[in-house]
Amino acid sequence: MRIVIAGGHGQIALRLERLLAARGEEAAGTIRNSAHEADLRDAGAEPVLCDLESASVDEVARHLEGAHAVVFAAGAGPGSGVDRKNTVDRDAAILLADAAERAGVRRYVMVSSMGSDPDHPGDEVFDAYLRAKGEADASVRGRAALDWTILRPGMLTDDAGTGLVRLEASTGRGPIPRDDVAAVLAELLETPATAGLTLELVSGSTPVSVAVKSVAGN
């Protein structure tokens, strides 16, 4: 499979690219900064220069031609303000969905966030982030042309992955290593029967492959 990952230099994306390359998949990652090309190549992925905050739908769609799936793993980052929560975490995810539809790529896996809600109250930047992610999720879920899966991890950590998770429609709050998020994403891409699901993810006691298979088709 050829899989295009939006936000290809992100911490989860780089982990996912390594996993996909190890499986013999063809991974590509969008980046804004050409200085990041070497990092993607080291991860086994093809770097694709494309700024999702300024690109057109047609431009992004051209980068998706021939892809079997797309993953939205971009994010404005913890130091960004409200405006970039909207332009990256919301608008870029919607742009990727528009481009996937135009390019005929049905499979769309979204890295969202636990607590995402378009109606989330509050005036802090994190409140705006949860609204932006919720609006992006709602846009993707409304598209019949996409076989979407939305993954909502808990608190992300840089601890070594254990390969043991809890993956359900509702898990409650908890931490999850980025290693394990990437492993779940890779498994979701291999499991088309998870299309149409919004799933929460925290550390748990179930091996990743078993956890994904147990929710598939639900």
State the pLDDT at residue 204.
98
Bridge partners, residue 189, by sequence: none
pLDDT digits (tens, 9 = 90+) for 79-115: 899 999 999 999 999 999 999 999 999 999 999 999 9
Characterize 64-89 residue by residue with b for buried, 16 or more Cβ atoms within 10 angstroms of its Cβ, and e for exposed.
beebebbbbbbbbeeebebebbbbbb
What percentage of the chain exceeds 70 in pLDDT?
100
Q: Please report, for residues 7, 15, 43, 159, 213, the alpha-carbon distance to residue 22 in angstroms, rounded to integers and kept in the order given.
A: 20, 11, 9, 21, 21
Answer whether 73's CB lies under 8 Å from 89's CB. no
State the pLDDT at residue 23.
96
pLDDT mean over 165-186: 98
pLDDT digits (tens, 9 = 90+) for 43-67: 999 999 999 999 999 999 999 999 9
Domain boundaries, the chain: 2-216
First to last CA, the chain: 24
State the pLDDT at residue 217.
78
Q: Is the pLDDT of residue 218 over 80?
A: no
Phi, psi of 205 (to 5 degrees): -125, 5
**How far is CA 110 from its chain centroid?**
4
**How far is CA 130 from its chain centroid?**
15
CATH number, domain 2-216: 3.40.50.720
Answer whether 151's CB lies under 8 Å from 110's CB. yes
